[in-house]
Structure 1
Amino acid sequence: MLKKIILLLNIMLISTVVTYSEKNLLLLEEDNLIKIKEKIERKESFVMPAYEELLLKAEAALAIERISVVDKEIVPSSKDKHDYMSFGPYWWPNPETKDGFPYIKKDGKVNPQMKKDSDSLRLQNLAKSTEILALAYYYTSDIKYAEQVAKLVKIWFLDEETKMNPHLRYGQAIPGQLKDKLTSLGILESRQILRVLDAVTLIEDSNCLSKKDIKELKKWIVKFNDWLYNDEFCYQEKHRPNNHGTYYDYQVTGYFIYLDEDEKAEEILKAAQYTRLASHIGSKGQNFHELERTRPLHYSIFDLEALVGLAIYGDRYKDVNFWTFDVNKTSLKKAIDYIIKYKNNPDMWLVKNEKVNFDSFVKTLIIATEKYNTDEYKEEIKKLWKENPKNLNYLKWNINI
């Protein structure tokens, strides 16, 4: 009888683990989260500073009443506040004209006026807040965090009075040109929605979002991705050769995966191995299109993050492997090694004294450590951990240090 009870308990445990690991996450992998959760339970020193920071930020996020595109004072030329609107960050008033028009571009130099009352900041805040809250729920099982995620998601995507229309036709507009000149560059900003979708997936077992809510959210994503994939307005962004093009693929592929349209996702990924990885990264690991920028190291890391995201997507498909893909002596690993080389030898870099935040790059190093089954990046990770042990990326991907 005792053996039967033990066998039953083992079966129940195995069943629980299998179900628990079936979350269809986009940017994260649940196996990593499970290991991190075990480390938190053991209070391991490597993850505890970040975990404590997570809980502090999650408590702060509980106080958010709402985040909505309709809260802006500016109104796009459509006269509909439900339309997402932002301004290009690098555009400045023309000093040679009285009214400042037409605006001129200063690449890499952010005009703080362009950030005021911008939906880009609202969407960033939504993504950051829901991600923090969802991770807090995952690691603590405290329902209040999941409830807040559900509340914020409903406000942004579902509630008639506050929801965003599913397009970015007014993203990164240029002030004063053709009633705020429209440009497809703003599509880059909607990459944040993928983080929100992972947050939704992390709280799915809480039932704070009903099946009807999830169904309506997927309908919104269907409309949005149809606009991204098929609308003529998005064509130029799709074919941009730099990080904009990479993040376009990163988005549409992620949405197709979320919607279980694997055939389309795999098709994009197969092509992206050539059109993004091989055409962006040189034989030494240099990123051709980002080295031309005024902040080349920052943008090289930024584009690399999207390439790594595509690689993670590709792990789902047997005929896609960004990690080992090699054309003309280029590879994803060389791109990672190139960043490390110049991070640690700044005097060799193209732009002297370029200020770069490496908090996001550490995630790339942790992922590479796992995917390449190597220890070569661990010393660099330790160094970055000492600089900022509260970095929340240590709670997203597991590493044994």
Structure 2
Amino acid sequence: MKNCSIMSGYGLYLAVSALILWCAPAHAQYGDLILKDPQVVQKVVAKYQSGNINSAATIKNLVGNADARLQEGPFSVTLKTQLPPSGDIHDYMSMGPYWWPDPEKEDGLPYIRKDGEINPEYFDYKDKEQLGKLMNALTDLSHGFVLTGEEKYAAHAIGLLQAWFLDPETKMNPNLNFAQCIPGVTEGRGIGIIDTRRFADLPDIIHFLERSAHWSPEIGDNMKGWIGEYLDWLVNSQHGKDEAIHGNNHTTWYFAQTVPLALYLGRDAQADSLAQAGLPLILDVMIEGDGSQPKELARTKSWDYSSMNLFGMYQFALACEHLGMDLWNYTNGNGGGLKAALDYLVSYADGENKWGFEQITPMDPAKIIPCLHIAAVKFGEQDYEAIAEKLSGSEKDFSFMDWAVNK
């Protein structure tokens, strides 16, 4: 029988619940996860619970981050000062970052595009900033809860979820009609859907929090209701239809978001349909035989976009595993695939080879670390983890994949 220790400070009810949680087989405990591997999570939790770790700095950072998040929030779309064109403060609103007043026009309208150069007006639209803070907090708090079992992390995370998605006074309406507006051009556009790409993580965050005594079936039903309405908007709105075929990282992240959400809702047939539609648009078109991503290399921040798009591809591949699709070993007609795409970026990450494409901001090799963690597990190559370790420096972020490999 497994050695299952219960953390001190719990009442009888929580003690019994914890016993069931920590002693259950991995597939029973975490089988509902979508982007995280249940066996990997089980392995990491077991290591943490047993004290079998050798990375005190990482643990200190993790717990410290979770503790700091306890002081943050709530976050809400209702905190902005601009009123969306709908007149409803609950509608999400943001501005396209690379659009500037036309110096040739007295009123600056319509705005013109300067790729990679962020207009300071972009930061006046607070919904995206609030959303980023929300997702950072939910990630750290849910990780803190699943590893330590301390209810304070789950309780605060659940409160943040309710404020953003469910509370009538502060909730976000389940649409992105006014995301990435362009003054003088459009009130919103499909490209704005990339603002919420981290919603792909919501199912796993929720599955962690469902184990809390502060969770309730009502909260779960209401979250599924919100996500269901939002997914319907993603699939059926003109903005969603435009984003699905946009053709670069926007299309990648559209499917990397919609497939996990459909799986979470139990809409397996819809998830499969989305995955089948996304596969050729992403893996067949976006990766060359040498692993390069031409559409991202054409950008003024080519390293950033190549790294970001590849991470979206990896998220898409993780979700597609639940549909019986092995994209890790998929090779397109050009001979390209997910491993080749990472190896292409790795060849420039150590600085020995010069990145020969436009990058108007400093090149940050660490942007490929999330993909390296995943690749170390999916391709069974420890060298990827060694590279991630080298690139991470002294400040390491917590990663289930990282711990599963070498901690």
Decide: shared fold, TM above 0.5.
yes
> Which residue in the other structure is 2:308 paired with?
302
Aligned residue runs from structure 1 range 1-400, under 5 A: 16-18=24-26, 20-40=28-48, 41-42=50-51, 44-46=53-55, 48-177=56-185, 181-318=187-324, 320-328=325-333, 329-344=335-350, 345-351=352-358, 354-385=361-392, 387-393=393-399, 398-400=404-406
Asked whether the 8 Å contact 2:193–2:243 carries over to 1, the reply is yes
Asked whether the 8 Å contact 2:134–2:160 carries over to 1, the reply is yes
- Which deviations, in whole Å up to 9, do the C-alpha atoms of 1:252-291 show, x marking residues without a partner? 1111111011122123223433221111000000102101
- Which deviations, in whole Å up to 9, do the C-alpha atoms of 1:188-211 show, x marking residues without a partner? 111122223322211111132210
- Which deviations, in whole Å up to 9, do the C-alpha atoms of 1:93-139 show, x marking residues without a partner? 22222322221111111123202232111111111101100101111
Asked whether the 8 Å contact 1:33–1:397 carries over to 2, the reply is no
C-alpha spacing 1:148/1:92, structure 2 compared with 1 (3 Å): same
Asked whether the 8 Å contact 1:363–1:394 carries over to 2, the reply is no
C-alpha distance in 1, partners of 2:403/2:23? 24
C-alpha spacing 1:221/1:335, structure 2 compared with 1 (3 Å): same
Q: What is the Cα deviation at residue 13 of structure 1?
A: 9.5
TM-score by length of 2: 0.89
Q: What is the Cα deviation at residue 242 of structure 1?
A: 0.1
- Which deviations, in whole Å up to 9, do the C-alpha atoms of 1:132-173 show, x marking residues without a partner? 001011111110110001100001111111111110000001
C-alpha distance in 2, partners of 1:384/1:315? 28
C-alpha spacing 1:396/1:169, structure 2 compared with 1 (3 Å): farther
Q: SS in structure 2 opposite 1:392? A: coil
Asked whether the 8 Å contact 1:146–1:206 carries over to 2, the reply is yes
C-alpha distance in 2, partners of 1:340/1:84? 37
Q: What one-letter code is carried by the residue in structure 1 that aligns with 2:117?
A: K
**Count of aligned positions:** 390
C-alpha distance in 1, partners of 2:65/2:100? 34
Asked whether the 8 Å contact 2:91–2:173 carries over to 1, the reply is yes
* Structure 2 portions without partners, runs of 5+: 5-18
Q: What one-letter code is carried by the residue in structure 1 that aligns with 2:63?
A: L
TM-score by length of 1: 0.90
Q: What is the Cα deviation at residue 394 of structure 1?
A: 5.8
> Which residue in the other structure is 1:3 paired with?
none
Q: What one-letter code is carried by the residue in structure 1 that aligns with 2:203?
A: L
Deviates more, 1:387-396 or 1:165-174: 387-396
Deviates more, 1:278-287 or 1:349-358: 349-358
Q: What is the Cα deviation at residue 353 of structure 1?
A: 7.2
C-alpha spacing 1:268/1:13, structure 2 compared with 1 (3 Å): closer
C-alpha distance in 1, partners of 2:246/2:365? 25
* Structure 1 portions without partners, runs of 5+: 1-5
Identity %: 30
C-alpha distance in 2, partners of 1:191/1:397? 25
C-alpha spacing 1:323/1:19, structure 2 compared with 1 (3 Å): closer
C-alpha distance in 2, partners of 1:393/1:15? 22
Deviates more, 1:25-34 or 1:227-236: 25-34
Q: What is the Cα deviation at residue 32 of structure 1?
A: 1.8
Q: What is the Cα deviation at residue 216 of structure 1?
A: 0.8
Q: What is the Cα deviation at residue 33 of structure 1?
A: 2.2
C-alpha distance in 2, partners of 1:352/1:231? 34
Asked whether the 8 Å contact 1:51–1:390 carries over to 2, the reply is no
Q: What is the Cα deviation at residue 251 of structure 1?
A: 1.2
C-alpha spacing 1:396/1:259, structure 2 compared with 1 (3 Å): farther
Deviates more, 1:333-342 or 1:24-33: 24-33
C-alpha spacing 1:309/1:397, structure 2 compared with 1 (3 Å): farther
